[in-house]
Amino acid sequence: MRLPALAAATTATLALALGALSPAPSATGTAASAATAFAPRLVTVDTPTGAHKDKLTALGLDLTEHAGHDYVEVVLHTPADLAALVAGGFSFDVRIPDLVRRGVEVAEINEAYAARVARSPLPSGRDTYRTLADYEADMAQLERDHRRIVKRFALKRPSLDGRTIYGVEIGEDVRRPASGRPTFVLLGVHHAREWPSGENAMEFAVDLATSYGKDRRITRMLKQARVVVVPVVNVDGFDLSRTDGEYVDLRALNDADPLDGSLSILGTPGHAYKRKNCRVLDGVDTPDGTCRASLTSNGGFGIGVDLNRNYGGFWGGPGAAATTPDVGNVEAGVLDPTYRGPAAFSEPETQNIQDLVRGRQVTMLISNHTFGNLILRPNGVNPSTLGPDGKPVGDAPDEKALKRLGAAMAANNGYANIHGWQLYDTTGTTEDWSYNATGGFGYTFEIGPDEFHPPFPDVVDQYGGTGKYAGGGNRGAYLVALQHTIDTAHHGVLRGSAPAGTVLRLRKEFRSPTWESAYDDFVDSTITVPRSGRFRWVVNPSTRPVVQPRTYDQVSGEPWFARSIEGSFTAPGSSTDHEVRLPRDADVLRVGLTWPTPDDMDLTVYRREGDRLMEVGSSGNLPGTAESVEVPDARAGTYVLRATNYASVAPSHEVTVGAFDTVTRTTAGKREVYTLTCERGGKVLHRTRVFVARGQVRDLDLRACRRAG
């Protein structure tokens, strides 16, 4: 459809608002890059050390989940973003020089794919991305076609825009009362722009339903477990992103655009890369149906709460923006892409998932996201990070088993199997809460290598796998997760006998810690004793991981080796090397750099290996902040301490060195129990306390329940 009367006015407006567009640089970024005309772009930033990652995180840019040991990919939305990256001294390569133009290319690829294939290899046969209405229709149809094993349900709370949020539950005899089978929860689209996360979840639901009775492995597992799929958690945000991100791109104005479509592309409504939900003001609901009237949210900035920072697990800690802007950490407060909300579980979308997990024995959970080809496991913060109790957070108590299961899933899709913090610190994430509150294993999948919503054929490849992973992919990984769901070596089992039809309730109330305080929490699940009078209930361990003993290393006393070295002025851009010989191995080597003026110096620590210098740590804090490097397990030998004048007029500087021993500490931890009640007609007939460890089978004596019944 042509809109000639509107075209000239719109083109003029876009030209004034956006300016001319020229190709983005394709070589390594330099200061000259900031002066070029700008288009939103995806860049790969060099981060050779953890200190570089920390410094990059502090710039307040839109960091993606695609990262490695020496790089992080970043979306630059404005010239100011590019300038901040350049001013930070980072080198980078441009991967996608114009994300908006790429969005139109993706739409065209999708159109061509849909025209070329009658049916895709996906279980549903779909050939293009679903809309929110498509998801709802597909879930309803799945229930109609497979009523015996599929039940569609509405989550308890509507979205801020008044929408009902749906999921499907899949399993043999799904309409009968729960009888003790564990649950696998699969979630998609916490972040609005991450369309493949919902597609992969929905396709697995279709796969299970259509394979039941035909695939022996899937049939066997669906006899032993329930699978709950919520493909779109953030329905309001997704609906905006999905509709803005495809055909509402003003391409009808291309013929009138003096820059052959560039201006009309950039004039596309700004929700295609929306990240958050539609919260406008904390604690205040908005009239239903008004979400679309909200301001644009380029790259996730703007109003809304980041749902994957709003869960209770370590809520309020590193990697999640607070309400008030933080200049030191370059956080934009409520406008920040990672704004965590005013309190844990402040949002209806996260409350829905909290309800879902609280009411079932969820022994496995996967929250799908894009992108990075990663499998992330708890915890989300570096184990050396000091937690609210002043002690290092440490690794998850089940680290070895979490890592092993991650590797088994990664063997199917080829993703990197890493901790969440190895990408960057995050708190308030889905699996950090679900794992620490219930003990059920939890992971984040970052789907796809390099785009939030790539061409749809990439979604097809990610689900089924390609190359050496053909026949595996995320489908294979999810099946590994489903097998873990029923593997009682990792869960507890309660078994015994009770009067048929009796309701057994397993409840535990507790205080869940956040980074700042704690909140009241609970789990409460039930089963109905079958006609045989015998029950077998697969459950999570009664003691939460967050209160289990944790082991960490603590620096012991004063340094056994210490040096202080004075250095003189060096010109900006130059550096001074200082050498120190460490006489014996040290558990921890700490190096500090200070100077008298409120400007910027950097510190790099090397270990001399023959004629080579091997970098072992670096620090590049914001201007006015002292630099420090901590080297664990430092071997004896010569170390070179390089003080670089990034932008300082200081007449001198001082480098301090300290070598320390550490002692291994273990927190006391505590043991928790469930309260098990036997109920009939809402009346409690019997109550007992139950402890169950991971992998333990408990035979329960419920004769008192039988007598009362």
Residue 442 CA to its chain's centroid (Å)? 11
Q: Nearest CA to 397 among 667, 673, 663, 633? A: 667
- Number of residues in the chain: 709
Q: Is 105 a catalytic residue?
A: no
Ramachandran assignment for 685, one of left (phi > 0), alpha (psi -120 to 50 degrees), beta (any other): alpha
Beta bridge partners of 686: 678
What is the phi/psi pair of residue 663, to 5°? Answer: -120, 145
| Structural Rg of the chain based on CA atoms | 27
Q: CA 365, CA 684: separation in Å to the nearest integer?
A: 31
By the 8 A CB rule, do 225 and 180 touch?
Answer: no
Q: CA 532, CA 266: separation in Å to the nearest integer?
A: 66
For the four alpha carbons of 10, 11, 17 and 21, in that order, the dihedral sign comes to positive
- Listed in sequence order, the residues at least 6 apart from 23 whose beta carbon sits closer than 8 Å to its beta carbon are 97, 98
Would you call 503 helix, strand, or coil by DSSP?
strand
By the 8 A CB rule, do 234 and 171 touch?
Answer: no
Beta bridge partners of 609: 612
Q: Give start and end residues of each alpha helix (H) in 58-186.
A: 79-87, 99-116, 132-145
Residue 131 CA to its chain's centroid (Å)? 23
Q: CA 604, CA 655: separation in Å to the nearest integer?
A: 11
Catalytic entry in 65, 246, 446, 679? 446
> Residue with structure tokens 């709802």?
136
Q: CA 575, CA 648: separation in Å to the nearest integer?
A: 11
- Listed in sequence order, the residues at least 6 apart from 133 whose beta carbon sits closer than 8 Å to its beta carbon are none
Would you call 415 helix, strand, or coil by DSSP?
coil
Sheet with 652-666: strands ordered across:
551-568, 652-666, 586-594, 627-634
Side-chain half-sphere of 102: how many Cα atoms within 13 Å?
19
Q: CA 670, CA 8: separation in Å to the nearest integer?
A: 70
Residue 583 CA to its chain's centroid (Å)? 43
**Could you write out the three-class secondary structure of 267-322?**
CCCCCCCCCCCCCCECCECCCCCCHHHCCCCHHHCCCCCCHHHCCCCCCCCCCCEC
8-state DSSP, 241? H
By the 8 A CB rule, do 142 and 150 touch?
Answer: yes
Q: How far is CA 515 from CA 2, 337, 353, 425, in A?
A: 55, 19, 21, 13
By the 8 A CB rule, do 429 and 65 touch?
Answer: no
Active site residues: 446
